[in-house]
Amino acid sequence: MKYVLVLGRDEILSFAEIIVYLKNRNIEFKVEAREKNAVLISSDFNPKKLMHDLGGTVKIAEVMFEGKNFDEIAGQIERKELIEWMNEKFCFALSFYGKETKRKRETEEFFKEKFKEHKKKALYRKAKKRGENISPSQIYSWNLIEENSDFVFFNSNKIFFGYTITCFNPKELKKRDVERPAQKELHSISLRLARILINLSGTKENQTLLDPFCGIGSVLQEAMFNGINALGIELDEKTAGMARKNLSWFEKKYKIEKKWVVIQGDSAFVKETLQGKNFDGIASEPFLGPLLKKISKEKEAKKIIHDLGQLYFAFFRKLALITKKQKIAIILPAVKCSNGKTIDLPETVFNQNFNSVNPIKEFQEKAFPYSYMEKESRIGRKIYILERKEKN
């Protein structure tokens, strides 16, 4: 089967997550085409399972037809009697991905006319903002997945046509976030980014993920949601208690049968703190520095990075004593300066023992480390995937 996977806001990060996920599970696949906002993959993966586990993919569409141009697609739609087997009354939408197409309006009129010919009461739905595709919230509001009526066009070397079969559910994700009993605003990683890190670490079902800077347990929670056992370390005793409270709630709320442990301890002494506990991968967003009310001057930024560097250097030195083949997906800070510069954490904090790797090197050179910079943030993020250097 061929599928169009629509990528999230950070296309490179979302694409890398897909590739690592499929490779790590030995799922055969081929990237048929890749554009800025979507990728075409031929594979026999389970789309709903994939959508459940990924953090960066927006929706997955199954390809029905392909052709050199829209006229070929239109002809196949008519020959296959696609219109006839739709319900009598439904909403539908059209989404366009890949290279820019100049026939959107013509495509809209084609579907409207065909539905009318077959006496279907089809209500055409558009995105809230002009020029955009409809959002996942709109897809669920209008029951487009149930009706198989979110039609997708992917324009690359050919035009591929299909319909959305599964989609990211923002309401469900928000529920897992805001209903947690313990909250710590401005100190918690987003659940979608947490999921991406977990998948980039290569940790899979029934294995154990370590988050050595677990905070209130966001990464650990999403690991459990993906069928992974969770092991966390948190320095602050109160925050460690919040993480335990959240994971206990999550375990009962979602009937998760996975092991989890949160240890109150110092990750700078990670070997001693874990006391021999095993893990298969690491995903974490550690302490990225103090909350800044304004953009730092260069001298202040260098001081922040210097202090954080000492913390991370101690952590990576100890981590090297207990890692072998486990991969590490970790976020490291980059501080913005008022003069326009950005002060990155030097790779010397880890490169004595770990290599930075690019999991999509065959598709895109220098994709990692990946700069994840939000517009309003004064602290930027660089996402690294690390692996232990072989001992001489």
Predicted local confidence at residue 21, as pLDDT: 98
Q: What is the pLDDT averaged over residues 167-182?
A: 94
Q: What is the pLDDT averaged over residues 97-111?
A: 88
Query: From CA 153, how far away is CA 69, in angstroms rounded?
Result: 11
Predicted local confidence at residue 132, as pLDDT: 83
Domains and CATH numbers, the chain: 2-168 (3.30.2130), 184-388 (3.40.50.150)
239-261 pLDDT per residue, tens = 999 999 999 999 999 999 999 99
Q: Which of 268, 219, 269 is nearest to 246 (CA)?
A: 219
Predicted local confidence at residue 212, as pLDDT: 98
Predicted local confidence at residue 24, as pLDDT: 96
The torsion region of residue 65 among left (phi > 0), alpha (psi -120 to 50) and beta comes to: beta
Predicted local confidence at residue 269, as pLDDT: 95
Query: From CA 36, how far away is CA 251, in angstroms rounded?
Result: 37
Query: From CA 260, how far away is CA 312, in angstroms rounded?
Result: 25
Q: What is the pLDDT averaged over residues 129-141?
A: 88
Which range has the worst mean pLDDT, 4-18, 110-124, 170-184? 110-124
Give the residues across from 33 on adjacent strands: 40
**Mean pLDDT (the chain, rounded):** 93
CB distance 97 to 153 below 8 Å = yes
| Residue whose entry in the numeric block shows the structure tokens 């993906």 | 226
Predicted local confidence at residue 83, as pLDDT: 72
Q: Fill in the amino acid letter for 58.
A: V
Asked whether the predicted pLDDT for residue 201 surpasses 80, the reply is yes
Count the alpha carbons within 13 Å of 274 in the hemisphere toward its beta carbon. Answer: 23
Q: Fill in the amino acid letter for 248.
A: S
- Rg for the chain (alpha carbons), in Å? 23
Asked whether the predicted pLDDT for residue 392 surpasses 70, the reply is no
Predicted local confidence at residue 165, as pLDDT: 97
Residue 375 — pLDDT band, cuts 50, 70, 90?
low
Asked whether the predicted pLDDT for residue 188 surpasses 80, the reply is no
Query: What share of the chain has pLDDT > 70, as a percent?
Result: 98
28-47 pLDDT per residue, tens = 999 999 998 999 999 999 99
277-322 pLDDT per residue, tens = 999 999 999 988 887 888 889 999 999 999 999 999 999 999 999 9
Which range has the worst mean pLDDT, 16-30, 46-60, 233-247, 378-392? 378-392
Residue 114 — pLDDT band, cuts 50, 70, 90?
confident
Q: How far is CA 225 from CA 14, 96, 251, 347, in A?
A: 19, 31, 9, 32
Predicted local confidence at residue 295, as pLDDT: 86
Asked whether the predicted pLDDT for residue 374 surpasses 80, the reply is no
CB distance 164 to 153 below 8 Å = no
User: What's the chain look like in SS3?
Assistant: CEEEEEECCCHHHHHHHHHHHHHHCCCCEEEEEECCCEEEEEECCCHHHHHHHCCCEEEEEEEEEEECCHHHHHHHHHHCCCCCCCCCEEEEEEEEEECCCCCHHHHHHHHHHHHHHCCCEEEECCCCCCCCCCCHHHHHHCCCCCCCCEEEEEECCCEEEEEEEEECCHHHHHHHHHCCCCCCCCCCCCHHHHHHHHHHCCCCCCCEEEECCCCCCHHHHHHHHCCCEEEEEECCHHHHHHHHHHHHHHHHHCCCCCCEEEEECCHHHHHHHHCCCCCCEEEECCCCCCCCCCCECHHHHHHHHHHHHHHHHHHHHHHCCCCCCCEEEEEEEEEEECCCCEEECCHHHCCCCEEECCCCCCCCCCCCCEEECCCCCCEEEEEEEEEECCCC
Asked whether the predicted pLDDT for residue 194 surpasses 70, the reply is yes
Residue 378 — pLDDT band, cuts 50, 70, 90?
confident
Query: From CA 202, how far away is CA 23, in angstroms rounded?
Result: 9
Residue 20 — pLDDT band, cuts 50, 70, 90?
very high
Predicted local confidence at residue 185, as pLDDT: 76
Predicted local confidence at residue 117, as pLDDT: 86
Asked whether the predicted pLDDT for residue 74 surpasses 80, the reply is yes
Q: What is the pLDDT averaged over residues 342-357?
A: 95
Query: What share of the chain has pLDDT > 90, as a percent?
Result: 77
Query: From CA 269, how far away is CA 361, in angstroms rounded?
Result: 33
Stated pTM of the model: 0.95
- Give the pairing type, strands 327-336 and 379-388: antiparallel
Q: What is the pLDDT averaged over residues 222-240?
A: 97
Which range has the worst mean pLDDT, 18-32, 173-187, 246-260? 173-187
CB distance 9 to 192 below 8 Å = no
